[in-house]
Amino acid sequence: MSYKEIFVIYETNEKKTINIFGKNFVENNNENVQLIIDKKEINLTDVYEIEGKKEITLKILKDLTDLSFMFNECENLVNINGLQFLNTKEVTSLKCLFSGCKSLEDIDALKTWDVSKVTLFNHMLFNCEKLKNIKPLQKWNVSSGINFNCFLGKTNISDISPLSEWNVSKGENFRGMFCSCSILENINPLTKWDVSNGEIFESMFAYCPKLSDISPLAKWKVCKGKVFSGMFNNCELLSNITVLGKWDVSNGEKFRKMFYNTAISDIEPIRDWKMSHAEDLSGMFSKTKISCLAPILNWKIEQVEYFTQLFDESSPDELEILNKAEESEGTLEIKTNIL
């Protein structure tokens, strides 16, 4: 039987049992992969006891089509250079591939991977907190990608320029793709992205405290978008949403906490948003600096079920919100003491 051998390296400060592969990956690949550790062949396992640095060789008996959870929560994985030799031509899922690999710094081995058939990229690099360079992904063909949920969430990536030419036109789920990227402030590389098939934008940029300029999103076509909840939630420096005025959100259903805890004070730009399919506006403008609600009083919101704290805590010195918005002949009616 022909096979291919690749290696990865783990490191610990003391002798202990660690995760070496994701449990789900092991369960699904017992017949496809064997391990070689200290020159001994053993069955694929999710945990192993090591001390210091340890090289583990994967004996690939059959080309893999699903790399989901392969190194999920492998906090001691430090070197993946051997993965450059892995045949990925038939792989369709990279879901949670390196999710939770908190010690992983270098992904250069991935730059030659063929990911042209991959549809699931969700959580691939989620919570890889030491990863700072994603240039190896620059030439990836992600044109089959459908799910990008939390792809780079909870990382310390500041430069996303390697993604500027990505073809995400088939993408449907962008939930939390850059969520909690604590030092991300420049999203210019996303200017040319075609997100016209996107349905879920929930928390896409949530908890990006340095993000203040969203003008690169001006030409995004989000007409199929249904979920915008928390998209800019806790982007504390975001004050200008002028570029969103031209967005077609007419199919949007959920807007919960979309602008929660931001610095926006003017909602005039979104006066003409078509909200007839909206169901949830709870907390949409809570903890903002809004002092004038007039621009959105003519929103048609016949379908809205949830208004909880729509404006609660918004400029409390100027607004006295009763934590309630009522439907009045299909038009938003908000009880305040200034209108």
256-314 pLDDT tens trace:
999 999 999 999 999 999 999 999 999 999 999 988 778 888 898 888 888 787 776 54
Are residues 85 and 61 in contact, defined by beta-carbon separation less than 8 angstroms? no
For residue 70, list its beta bridge partners: none
Q: Note the pLDDT of residue 302.
A: 84
Return the number of other C-beta atoms located less than 10 Å from residue 73's C-beta.
Answer: 19
> If one looks up domain 146-339 in CATH, what number appears?
3.80.10
Residue 339 has pLDDT above 70, yes or no: no
pTM of the full structure: 0.92
Give SS3 for 300: strand
Tell me the pLDDT tens digit for each residue of 221-232. Answer: 999 999 999 999
Over range 321-336, report the average pLDDT.
Answer: 45
User: Cβ contacts of residue 216 below 8 Å, gap of 6+?
Assistant: 187, 188, 189, 190, 191
Q: Mean pLDDT, the chain, as a whole number?
A: 91
Of all residues in the chain, the percent with pLDDT exceeding 90 is 84
pLDDT for the residue 241? 98
pLDDT of residue 337: 36
89 class by beta-carbon count within 10 Å (0-12 exposed, 13-18 middle, 19+ buried): exposed
Contacts of 38 (CB under 8 A, 6+ apart): none
Question: Residue 216: phi, psi to the nearest 5?
Answer: -60, -15
**β-bridge pairing 47-60 and 77-79:** unpaired
Domain boundaries, the chain: 146-339
Q: Which pLDDT belongs to residue 78? A: 97
What values do phi and psi take at 307, rounded to 5?
-115, 0
Note the pLDDT tens digit of each residue in 132-154.
999 999 999 999 999 999 999 99
**pLDDT of amino acid 177:** 98
pLDDT band at 250 (very low <50, low <70, confident <90, very high): very high
Q: Which residue has the tokens 């210019």?
A: 188
Q: Please, are residues 110 and 136 in contact by the beta-carbon 8 Å criterion?
A: yes
The tens digit of pLDDT for each residue in 42-67 reads 999 999 999 999 999 999 999 999 99
**Pairing mode, strands 47-60 and 4-19:** antiparallel
What is the C-alpha to C-alpha distance for residues 93 and 126, in angstroms, rounded to an integer?
A: 15
* Rounded Cα–Cα distance for residues 335 and 339 (Å): 8
In this prediction, residue 205 carries a pLDDT of 98
CB atoms within 10 A of CB 31: 10
Q: What percent of the chain has pLDDT over 70?
A: 91
The predicted structure's pLDDT at residue 3: 67
Q: What is the phi-psi region of residue 199: left when phi exceeds 0, alpha when psi lies from -120 to 50, beta otherwise?
A: alpha
pLDDT at residue 330, rounded to an integer: 52
Is residue 260 within 8 Å of 282, Cβ to Cβ?
A: no
